[in-house]
Amino acid sequence: MHLNRLQILFIILLASLLFFSCKKPVVLLIKPAPDLGEIQKRGKITVITKNNSISYFVYKAEPMGFNYELLKLFAQKIDVKLEILVVDDIDTAFSYLKNHRCDLIAMALNITPERLDQYSFSVPYLKSKQVLIQKSPSDWKAMSIKQSDNLLIRSPLQLAGKKVYIQPYTSFRENLEKISYITGKKVMVVDSADIQTEELVSMVSDGTIKYTVCNEIEAKVLQRYYPNIDISTPVTLPEDLGWAVNKGSDSLLQALNNWLSDFITTKKYKQLVRKYFNNPGSVKIMNSTFFSEKGNKISAYDNSIKKYSKKIGWDWRIIAALMFEESQFNNDTANYRSGASGIMQLMPATALRLNINATSNVDANIWAGIMYIKSLEKQFMDITDRNERIKFVLAAYNAGIAHIFDARRLTKKYGRNMYIWDDNVEYYLRKKSNRKYYSDPVVYYGYYRGEETYRFVRDIMERYQHFKNVIK
């Protein structure tokens, strides 16, 4: 009997069905969203926010921003470390949240019905309407309000047929599409991928584009920096703004809401609102070359740091974080208790060996400090993970290499990993102030107060992460 092709395919399909009917059903498991207990167990909350002049930025080597300061306080409240990730667009942020690459989105998100279908939102912590950003007439200061109004769009209905540039996947698109529906004439919405809202506002100011949309609270800050933009035309009524978590993160949301509900009634909250939204001094920050959104500079010595860091293959931003921790970039800094001096705070014996002294200039001090780092790194080449090795070098820079070797020997003796810093060697370095440990036979150099070195390494690595987030 000859079977045609269709019959053969039917037999194969039937055999497949019979085979799989004998098997247990396959159950697809969807990983639940991380909740508060899991976050506290891991000791860290991972949050996505935006790098802009309000939410999160670095100024004179210090991390700042309205959302950043709120996040620090919330992380302290739930007793975990704060890890910040920066993304440029909202679609990526929601994708990270959905795939559990973060626990929380801390942006000023418009709480829309469409978003509420997929995500849970905090209680509103701000309220703002959306406004049209357009360039004021060239001689607007000499005009009456009526004259300037005649040259500007003063009703969202007038946007019909106009091109409005926005970031993709924002709620700005939804509201502009509503205007198209109401007027029957399409607003030409142009998605500007990889361009932040602040950059779009800048493009309106310099005449590259005519229109964009922005939340009014942000627009008022940007208007101080771009005084020729007009922000007086509302596109929406005031809307609630909040943070987003995954559906299922119920205890995280409850903890966040309990904290936010209390915090927004406090004097501290009002101070932060004034600091970031109603502060005339923000123009000084935004004009500074040490503002991460503008100058991409950490210090006045970046060129020297970059030049010498290349010689040892280190990311220059780690060296910058170390220098800030040691001296806040002040070459005149002297520690009279330890004798360390200069921008790199080298000890006298180390400085002498590297041929520098109190009269040496900044460049020589930076070179000497980096050469000292190079010599320390050679002592830890058995640590193959470069990121781990960096932490050991930083610790030795602060404590001296002998105490770190003591801590490694203790770590090995007590069955932990002598090649890992966090929760391993750092743990036993902190134990060296306890007689049980500093009297141990494997400890050659006695008592040491390791808490300072623990904080030293932790603070440098945290600052370095902020630099990586916003400094190219």
Q: Which residues pair with 323 in a beta bridge?
A: none
Catalytic residue check, 174: no
Amino acid 336: pLDDT: 66
Domains, the chain, with CATH or none: 36-125+242-285 (3.40.190.10), 130-237 (3.40.190.10), 302-470 (1.10.530.10)
Q: Looking at residues 251-264, what average pLDDT do you find?
A: 98
Q: Taking 90 as the threshold, does the pLDDT of residue 26 lie above it?
A: no
Coil/strand/helix, residue 293: coil
What is the residue-averaged pLDDT of the chain? 90
Amino acid 23: pLDDT: 41
Q: Looking at residues 35-64, what average pLDDT do you find?
A: 95
Write 155-161 long-range contacts (CB < 8 A, 24+): 155/233, 156/132, 156/233, 156/234, 156/235, 157/182, 157/183, 159/132, 159/187, 159/211, 160/184, 160/185, 160/186, 160/187, 161/185, 161/186, 161/187, 161/188
Q: Taking 80 as the threshold, does the pLDDT of residue 295 lie above it?
A: no
Report pLDDT digits (tens) over 149-203. Answer: 788 999 988 998 999 999 888 889 888 988 888 888 899 999 998 888 999 999 9
Write out the H or E segment, with its range, that includes residue 166.
Answer: strand 163-166
Q: Taking 80 as the threshold, does the pLDDT of residue 328 lie above it?
A: yes
Amino acid 20: pLDDT: 37
Q: Taking 60 as the threshold, does the pLDDT of residue 22 lie above it?
A: no
Residues 265 and 273: their CA atoms lie apart, in Å, by 12
Q: Quick one: how far is CA 453 from the chain centroid?
A: 25
pLDDT confidence tier of residue 338, bands split at 50, 70 and 90: confident
| Residue 90, both tokens | 């909202």
Q: Taking 80 as the threshold, does the pLDDT of residue 144 lie above it?
A: no
Residues 434 and 302: their CA atoms lie apart, in Å, by 41
DSSP state of 29: P
Amino acid 244: pLDDT: 98
Size (the chain), residues: 472
DSSP state of 124: P
Question: Residues 216, 326, 377, 388: which is the catalytic one?
Answer: 326
Distances (CA, A) of 295 to 13, 203, 206, 285: 65, 18, 19, 11
Contact between 135 and 229 (Cβ < 8 Å): yes
Phi and psi, residue 57, nearest 5°: -160, 175
Report DSSP letters for 317-354, one per residue: HHHHHHHHHHHTT-TT-B-TTT--BTTTTB-HHHHHHT
Distances (CA, A) of 87 to 145, 349, 435, 470: 39, 45, 48, 10
